[in-house]
Amino acid sequence: MLIAAGAALSLLLAGRATSDLRENRAAAIRPEPSVASWLSGAFSSAFEAWYADAFPFRTTLVAVGAALERLHGPAALGRVELVRARGGDAEDPGAASPGEAEAPTDAPVELIETGKAFGDFLVLGDRAMELLRFRQGAVDTWSGAVNAFSRRLDPAVKVRALVAPSSIAFLDDERYRSLSADQAAGIRAAYAGLDPRVDRVDAHSAIGSHSDEYVYFRTDHHWTGLGAFYAYRAWCAAAGVAPLPLDAFPTSDLAGFVGTLYGKTLNPRLKANPDTVRLYEPPFATSFEYLRHGGARFESGRLVDPARADTWNKYLAYFGDDWPLAVVRREGGDGRKLLVFKDSYGNALIPFLAAHFSEVHVIDPRHFQGDAVAYARTHKVDEVLFVNSFAVVSYYTGFAGNIARVTGAGGAAPAEAPAAEPGSTLASEGESATPLPAAPAAPASPDA
């Protein structure tokens, strides 16, 4: 009777949680039942997710649980902790939705990139890092998808690939660095599978020579704008172009950033020592148009938006979100066009790349629903860049599977470029201005 009464009371009190949870993510939304969702099981799964987030006193219980975990295991050694993520079905972090790729059979743990099961976290003092895995078959699948796309393009279109390492790759202490996959060797393995026509960008060496600088956040899994700048210089070296100096990019700082690694570990030292997001803006006028998740029309925004200072995920001041499709245009360009396939690491890199092209078209293959080959041909792109983090290509195959999916035939995403607003740089290039509809509601993003 006590158990039944407690269950009934928890259901009555559920739903009073805030929209943003302690783990720095949006709370699940209570689903509306329907015959179809009930019969398929989708309603029960969604209801369970909502109830887990809306459970009475959840915030307090999560805090107590995190505190108890720090009382055993490596935490007893002091300021070094290994944090195991909760939850657990094997799930591919690069997949747009569950079931798109077959996951390995060994039990994984959580990966930051999509909030799905993948790896553990290491906390050293006031800094946290994700621990990553490697599988040869996974990087072979990624390189095969890149090769298949490049073979469908005109040989005159230059294709490059940049695999971005994560922060633990440059940890000085081998005892802790060895807990994660050897990223230098893993990136070499991924590049070894690429066709000769695909250029390899050595971001690992470029960032490694500056690893004593603030190139990665301490409380978030992304590189900083400075880390992205050194990757940009590596791209310039591969492309044979002169990079703009760092001081050419106007900067502004967003203080008080506590990112995804805090959300996954709830370590109080991370919260007490927040990061600062330094924004690097292009030193020229740009327009930025993007397609929302599930949207049908383009909207205008800012490529680098300091207004994100009031949100918890300040990294999204770069690019706004992992939009399915976006286009950056600049004044005074030479007419060349770049197509980028990216995950969230690419967000901070785009403002630097925009210095060398009149147009940068950006596709996130996890969310894009069209034919990327047709899109590249329609817009007559001159170059292609795959900028993908080691995390999404090294162990599972969902991200590579999404590359293969969007470079196949068919799809529903629009092939036309964004319409221009009156007075924008798009309109000045002779494109007709088309009024945009009211913005559809954007779905909650699990992570940038």
Domain ranges of the chain: 1-65, 132-428
Has residue 107 got a pLDDT over 90?
no
Tens digit of each residue's pLDDT (9 = 90 or more) over 128-184: 999 999 999 999 999 999 999 999 999 999 999 999 999 999 999 998 899 899 999
Share of the chain above pLDDT 70, in %: 76
Of 307, 327, 328, give the one whose Cα is nearest residue 316.
307
Q: Do residues 315 and 220 touch, judged by C-beta distance below 8 A?
A: yes
Tens digit of each residue's pLDDT (9 = 90 or more) over 331-383: 877 899 999 999 999 999 999 999 999 999 999 999 999 999 999 999 999 99
Q: What is the pLDDT of residue 319?
A: 94
Of 204, 215, 212, give the one whose Cα is nearest residue 238.
204
* Token pair 């649980």 in the structure block, residue: 65
Q: 3-state SS of the chain? A: CHHHHHHHHHHHHCCCCCCECCCCCECCCCCCCCHHHHHHCHHHHHHHHHHHHHCCCHHHHHHHHHHHHCCCHHHHHCCEEEECCCCCCCCCCCCCCCCCCCCCCCCCEEECCCCEEECCEEEECCEEEECCCCCHHHHHHHHHHHHHHHHCCCCCCEEEEEEECCHHHHCCCHHHHCCCCCHHHHHHHHHHCCCCCEEEECHHHHHHCCCCCCCECCCCCCECHHHHHHHHHHHHHHHCCCCCCHHHCCEEEEEEECCHHHHHHCCHHHHHCCEEEEEECCCCCEEEEEECCCCCCEEEECCECHHHHHCCCHHHHECCCCCCEEEEEECCCCCCEEEEEECHHHHHCHHHHHHHCCEEEEECCCCCCCCHHHHHHHCCCCEEEEEEEHHHHCCCCHHHHHHHHHCCCCCCCCCCCCCECCCCHHHHCCCCECCCCCCCCCCCCCCC
Handedness of CA 67, 73, 76, 77 (dihedral sign): negative
Q: 45 falls in which pLDDT band (50, 70, 90)?
A: confident
Has residue 300 got a pLDDT over 70?
yes
Work out the average pLDDT over 113-139.
Answer: 78
Has residue 79 got a pLDDT over 90?
no
Rounded to whole angstroms, how far apart are CA atoms 193 and 161? 12
Has residue 56 got a pLDDT over 80?
no
Q: 290 falls in which pLDDT band (50, 70, 90)?
A: very high
Q: What is the pLDDT of residue 72?
A: 55
What's the chain's average pLDDT?
80
For the entire predicted model, the pTM comes to 0.75
Rounded to whole angstroms, how far apart are CA atoms 139 and 182? 13
Has residue 6 got a pLDDT over 50?
yes
Q: What is the pLDDT of residue 168?
A: 96
Q: How far is CA 393 from CA 74, 129, 143, 144, 315, in A?
A: 29, 18, 9, 12, 22
Q: Is the pLDDT higher at 42 or at 389? A: 389
Identity (one letter) of the amino acid at 205?
Answer: S
Q: Do residues 206 and 234 touch, judged by C-beta distance below 8 A?
A: yes
Q: 95 falls in which pLDDT band (50, 70, 90)?
A: low
Identity (one letter) of the amino acid at 204?
Answer: H
Q: 443 falls in which pLDDT band (50, 70, 90)?
A: very low
Of the listed ranges 104-118, 253-267, 370-384, the one predicted with least confidence: 104-118
Rounded to whole angstroms, how far apart are CA atoms 44 and 7? 16
Has residue 313 got a pLDDT over 80?
yes
* Distant-in-sequence, close-in-space partners of 77: CB < 8 Å, separation ≥ 6: none
**Residue 130: beta bridge partners?**
121
Q: Do residues 223 and 348 touch, judged by C-beta distance below 8 A?
A: yes
Has residue 435 got a pLDDT over 80?
no
Other C-beta atoms lying within 10 Å of the C-beta of residue 52 = 13
Q: 448 falls in which pLDDT band (50, 70, 90)?
A: very low
Of the listed ranges 97-106, 305-314, 425-434, the one predicted with least confidence: 425-434
The phi and psi torsions of 424 (rounded to 5 degrees) equal: -80, 170
